[in-house]
Structure 1
């Protein structure tokens, strides 16, 4: 019997492999993403091709540190999925191992790039077309973010505590893209939060144009869920 012939790996065509990261945040009432521009001025997500003998995790850290100018120490992007359409990049055959991370806007004041508002479909609200298939990556990132914010109060810690219930609701509205019923939202989230009290045990409040509002932070069970979809204002 003739021994099977084994081909060398170099006998097969190989795509270039990149890591692209959708960095999401909320500015005012808008969900935004960090974009950078190529030499022609076209917007794209920050990314980097994987170097020889580098891991995906190492490349993620390189994008965060070298491309975005952020410290990777407390930033942990999560994997979205692999984007592998052979025609996704006109420069040649590439695949992207796409990641996403949500950060408070205050942590992005010195980021290398621009904060651009995005639509439900992952497009820039400015109407500018993103390079490659980056709209699809942003859409996947925003879908993932919205699923988390339907389930728990500020799971990605975009608000710096303590905060009011109004501030928390407005954050969820910006991410979910719809108005929420105030009273129902408050009833749903309060059991999952820790009311802030002073040394005497009195509620800590903040004046916000009207009567003082109580302040809250994450509760003792930060993974507790709402239990069902948050009710929209138009569902009254």
Structure 2
């Protein structure tokens, strides 16, 4: 089931996120101020080498793979993170958010960057907001929780950047934001999915209670072009 999700970045860059895609042929990537992810048709050594040669910028790139990859010499491999890929196929029951949720836009970017830097939910860059559908919860003038959508390998939509400030954990903020994202995706007749570090038991528990099930454990490689 869900074979598209074995290579979500490639399918996102050639379908739902095509407007943000760069590259050609079997090699596609997001601009590095949007997302570090690149997508390759087969993740072959030749494609990995072509990605290195094609990128017009240096820095860190992320590649998703269900299996270990053989990286050609030009790349510096920084490491690989094991993550659970989880999918929600259950219809979401009706709900009412217990807190005020606001749409996040350009004026919120400094606080979004600060919150993601503190909580480390995954890569979040200056223009990641271009993926759309980011929402958050403020306490006074302080952003304390947020969630949004990232890769869109149709018919799937990834929920991403789910995070809560440590001072506001245990209040159901992430759950409320997740429910809103699930609702939005299902209304669009798409299927929610997400990635979570395999050792993040707290988050996995929340996602399981929301109806997500583990599809498989996959690898996210972080490599650098110097």
TM-score, structure 1 as length reference = 0.25
Q: TM-score, length-normalised on structure 2?
A: 0.26
Please tell me whether Structure 1 or Structure 2 has the larger radius of gyration of its CA atoms. Answer: 1
More strand by share: 2
Q: Quick one: higher RCO (CA 8 Å, sep 6+), 1 or 2?
A: 2
